[in-house]
């Protein structure tokens, strides 16, 4: 299976949910707004049910009303793509009345150190392994630091990945100080001149306050070891948790400003619309999305590709990666 096939497959639950609630999206757009008012309410319901969020749903309906597309699905696809653009760009494009044609996220970290955060079980550790593979495939050298010392065997899990991928892993003792592991990792990265260091972190501590304080400390200590780093803090969010995950994300964002989001497990949910409020409410770009457990199931996020896959529409060959 190619990535696009996996993506379409992964989004099938969300697609089914949209189709079941919104009826035939192939409807003629004029019909929808004149004599078939019902379907606009159905569409509104479908978007809310897919976790697109109220504010975005309202804008989408406005954009569809103003659209010159001939059928509902085309208008909806364009409006949704726009909702996946960062605020400033979205406002600009809405004013001009058209969709952006280039929508691929820049995924190369600004600097060298990426801290990976998120609650337990969302997929942080496996995502770090997939990211390692992705960047190595692009000619970068990579290191990992096993900063989750809270959960027994978390370090070992990352160690196994490191061995499999040939990536050096800086380890600490189980129950040891995660900031010390991060400090050692950042120091070693700078000394060796490795391109990228990914720091794994705990997803759970005795309480939330401790976790947030620990993440702040890890950040401070990395900056001490390698001034200016970490340049990136990526939050891993499990799409299955929908709006709850978004609420968690805001907590993390307050404690340690995040620079990117990675959304995993899109294959396991009908709420793939959650990407919209993530972009709108966090104001942070989505870097990667995951639709499965294998390394190839994690890819840079591309809003147009995502929306087309969601509606099972072909992506022109030249654009397919």
Which positions make up the binding site? 118-125, 200-204, 264-267
Q: Choose the contact partner of 264 out of ligand GTP, Mg ion, none; CB within 5 to 8 A by kind.
A: ligand GTP
Only one of the segments 73-81, 87-95, 116-124, 227-235 lies at the binding site for Mg ion (rule: CB under 5 A); that segment is 116-124
Is 171 near Mg ion (CB under 5 A)? no
Stretch that binds Mg ion, among 15-23, 121-129, 267-275, 292-300 (CB under 5 A): 121-129
DSSP 3-state assignment of 262? Answer: strand
Residue (122 or 179) nearer to ligand GTP, CB: 122
Q: What is the Cα–Cα distance from 200 to 35, expressed in whole angstroms?
A: 55
The CA distance from 22 to 7, in Å, is 22
Site residues (CB under 6 A) for ligand GTP? 118, 120-126, 148, 151, 154, 203, 264-265, 267-268, 290-293, 297
Angle between helix 72-83 and 87-96 (nearest 10): 140
Task: Report the nearest approach of ligand GTP to the CB of residue 175 (Å).
Answer: 15
Exposure letters 284-302 (e unless 16+ CB within 10 A, then b) = bbbbbbbbbeeeebbbbbb
Q: Cα(216)–Cα(185) distance, rounded to whole angstroms? A: 16
For position 125 contacting Mg ion by CB under 5 A, the verdict is yes
In the complex, what is the shortest distance from the CB of residue 240 to ligand GTP, in angstroms, rounded to a whole number?
A: 9
Strands 286-290 and 298-300: antiparallel
Q: 99 or 125: whose CB is closer to Mg ion?
A: 125
Identity of the residue, 50 or 235, whose beta carbon is nearer to Mg ion in the bound complex: 235
3-state secondary structure of 2: coil
Q: How far is the CB of 265 from ligand GTP (least distance, A)?
A: 4
Whole-angstrom distance, CA of residue 288 vs CA of residue 124: 12
List the single partner that 267 binds among ligand GTP, Mg ion, none, CB under 5 to 8 Å by kind: ligand GTP
Q: Which is nearer to ligand GTP, 60 or 129 (CB)?
A: 129
Q: Which does 265 bind (CB under 5 to 8 A by kind): Mg ion, ligand GTP, none?
A: ligand GTP
- Between 63 and 306, whose beta carbon lies closer to ligand GTP? 306
Which of 80/167 has CB closer to Mg ion?
167
For the bound state, the minimum distance from the C-beta of residue 293 to ligand GTP, rounded and expressed in Å, comes to: 4
| Interface segment toward Mg ion; rule CB under 5 A; list 89-97, 119-127, 235-243, 245-253 | 119-127
> In this structure, are residues 232 and 260 in contact, taking their beta carbons and an 8 Å threshold?
yes
Query: Is residue 149 a contact point for Mg ion (CB under 5 A)?
Result: no
Q: Which does 111 bind (CB under 5 to 8 A by kind): Mg ion, ligand GTP, none?
A: none
Structure tokens at 55: 């504010």
Annotated binding-site residues for GTP read 118-125, 200-204, 264-267
51, with CB counted inside 10 A (0-12, 13-18, 19+), is buried
CA dist 243 and 42 (Å) reads 21
Kindly compute the dihedral angle of the four CA atoms of residues 120, 208, 116, 125, in this order, to the nearest 10 degrees.
Answer: -20
Return the beta strands (E) in 35-121 as ranges: 113-117
Binding residues for Mg ion, per CB under 5 A? Answer: 124-125
């Amino acid at each position: 299976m190619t990535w696009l096939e996996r993506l379409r497959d992964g989004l099938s639950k969300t697609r089914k949910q949209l189709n079941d609630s919104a009826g035939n999206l192939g409807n003629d757009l004029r019909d929808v707004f004149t004599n078939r008012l019902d379907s606009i309410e159905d569409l509104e319901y479908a978007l809310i049910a897919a976790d697109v969020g109220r504010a975005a749903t309202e804008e989408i309906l406005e954009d569809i009303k103003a659209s010159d597309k001939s059928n509902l699905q085309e208008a909806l696809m364009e409006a949704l793509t726009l909702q996946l653009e960062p605020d400033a760009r979205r406002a600009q494009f809405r004013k001009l009345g058209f969709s952006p044609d280039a929508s691929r996220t820049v995924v190369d970290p600004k600097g060298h150190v990426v801290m990976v955060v998120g609650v337990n079980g969302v997929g942080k550790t496996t995502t770090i392994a997939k990211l390692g593979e992705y960047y190595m495939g692009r000619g970068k050298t990579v290191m990992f630091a096993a900063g989750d010392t809270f959960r027994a065997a978390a370090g070992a899990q990352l160690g196994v990945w490191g061995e499999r991928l040939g990536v050096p892993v800086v380890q600490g003792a189980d129950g040891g100080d995660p900031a010390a592991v991060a400090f050692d990792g950042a120091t070693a990265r700078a000394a060796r001149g490795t391109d990228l260091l990914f720091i794994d972190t705990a997803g759970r501590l005795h309480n939330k306050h401790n976790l947030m304080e620990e993440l702040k400390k890890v950040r401070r200590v990395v900056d001490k070891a390698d001034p200016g780093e970490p340049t990136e803090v990526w939050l891993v969010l499990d799409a299955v948790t929908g709006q709850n995950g978004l609420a968690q994300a805001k907590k993390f964002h307050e404690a340690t400003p995040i620079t990117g989001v990675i959304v995993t497990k899109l294959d396991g949910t009908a709420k793939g619309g959650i990407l919209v409020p993530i972009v709108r409410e966090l104001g942070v770009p989505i870097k990667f999305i995951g639709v499965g457990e294998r390394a190839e199931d994690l890819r840079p996020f591309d809003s147009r590709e995502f929306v087309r896959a969601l509606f099972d529409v072909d992506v022109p060959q030249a654009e397919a990666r």
